[in-house]
Chain A
Amino acid sequence: MDEELGDVGAVYDELQNFFDDFQVEFRAATNGLTLHFDRPVITNVAQSYIYDLARYSKFHEIEIPDLARRAGYLAKWLLRLRPVRCDADVTAMPEEIGKLALTVNELFALYVVSGILRIDLEARLTPRTLNMVLYSFRYRATSEDAFFLFFVHLSESA
């Protein structure tokens, strides 16, 4: 990996640390469901994220992209490559918990974005807005630029 592009290993470990904390909260919310973290996929997420940052920095001649941009790129790759999985049988669990299990990558992406922006999104957004964000994450072909606009708005109105 070209050193100038950035430290893929650091991004990998940062995502891993996020996952460790996310796992604890997810377990508490789902009566102990276990999540698995696909290491090669997370490496791919980290590499793709670094490439995006490098491209953006080079084109705009900016040394360090801002937090909203970073959060946008990370959300994009986490949602596209889906590194987290829950192997439990969704049909055999209560509907609410099944929903959480199905949308685990969307929830993890939101968790990572919260951490990057240093905003408690669960507290900041209304339940309706939160559902809309998760729906967009899962079903809509939203680009990182749209995420970026939303995250900038969140950061500046915090």
Chain B
Amino acid sequence: MSPVCGFLSVLATVILSGALGGLRNFLEEQAASDAKLILFFRRFVEAILAAAVVPLFLSIIGNNIIADLLSPTAGSNSNWLSDWLYAILKLLGFCIVASLYSRKFLDTVSARVLNLEKQVKETKQEAQKATQGIELLTNAVVESDDQPAPASLAQLVVAPPAAEHGQQILKAFLTAGVPVRSVQGLSLSTNLPHDQVATCLSELEKQTFVRSIETPKGIRWVLTPAGRKVLGDI
């Protein structure tokens, strides 16, 4: 089935179900209103709008009915008709429910869409803040103008830390999902004694794989870009 046919069938379903829902709503409210014609068209349009929003609603909840209807069906030709009819019936059901409760449905979907936009915006802002924070904290070495630039990438490669404990501690930075760590936290994460972790961290700092930060509550540790790189080599 071609995408155009799929689109037309979706459109027809939306209009039909919207019309049915609107008519039902009008009949229910008939007694309460004098301006029946105006009320009729109001409800009719509301119901059409609600049914039209159903594809958006389906995409928010991760349902693929519309995609199945619009794209060519895979599989054998003998099955495509039953699959298509099934999808149409499901869509019809969604649209009828949406049109019956058109006002409430429109409010709910609008709120969800706005909320999603807000969440995406907030997540982007947080990700940006986290990236900036990590960049500020993990700038390990400032290259001076006197130092010659490395001739090749090979000169930047550093030997992975020999001690197994050092590797364990470095991995704990990445796997935890918490960029700023304490000695106690790393000791708990790696099951290594507190003093051993502290010694390892000093060694790792000398090799520029980690960096210490002074905070009012004590020393905290962060992974440097060199540390991240060497983790990729381990």
A-to-B contact residues, CB < 8 Å: 1, 7-10, 12-14, 16-17, 19-20, 23, 37, 39, 43, 46, 118, 158
- For residue B199, CB closer than 8 A to chain A, the reply is no
The 3 closest A-B pairs by CB, nearest first: A9-B189, A10-B176, A9-B188
**Closest-CB distance, B74 to chain A (whole angstroms):** 30
Interface pair B217/A12, CB less than 8 Å apart: no
Task: For the complex, give the distance between the alpha carbons of A43 and B180 in Å.
Answer: 17
> Which single residue of chain B is at the shortest CB-CB distance from A158?
B115
Chain A binding surface SS class: helix
**Closest-CB distance, A73 to chain B (whole angstroms):** 17
Given A17-B178, A17-B180, are A9 and B185 neighbors across the interface (CB < 8 Å)? yes
Task: For the complex, give the distance between the alpha carbons of A12 and B189 in Å.
Answer: 9
Interface pair A10/B122, CB less than 8 Å apart: no
Given A17-B178, A118-B122, A118-B126, are A10 and B216 neighbors across the interface (CB < 8 Å)? no
Partner of A13, one of B118, B185, B190: B185
Interface pair A20/B126, CB less than 8 Å apart: no
Interface pair B185/A12, CB less than 8 Å apart: yes
- For residue B184, CB closer than 8 A to chain A, the reply is yes
Residues of chain B within 8 A (CB-CB) of A20 are: 215-217
B interface residues, how many (CB within 8 angstroms):
24
Residues of chain A within 8 A (CB-CB) of B187 are: 9
Task: For the complex, give the distance between the alpha carbons of A71 and B70 in Å.
Answer: 42
Contact with A along B170-204 (1 / 0, CB 8 A): 00100111101110111111110000000000000
16 contacting pairs across A/B (C-beta < 8 A):
A1-B188, A7-B176, A7-B188, A7-B189, A8-B188, A9-B176, A9-B187, A9-B190, A10-B175, A10-B185, A13-B178, A13-B182, A14-B178, A16-B184, A37-B217, A46-B188
Given A1-B191, A7-B176, A7-B189, are A39 and B184 neighbors across the interface (CB < 8 Å)? yes
Task: For the complex, give the distance between the alpha carbons of A12 and B181 in Å.
Answer: 9
Interface pair A12/B184, CB less than 8 Å apart: yes
Residues of chain A within 8 A (CB-CB) of B217 are: 16, 19-20, 23, 37
Interface pair B126/A9, CB less than 8 Å apart: no
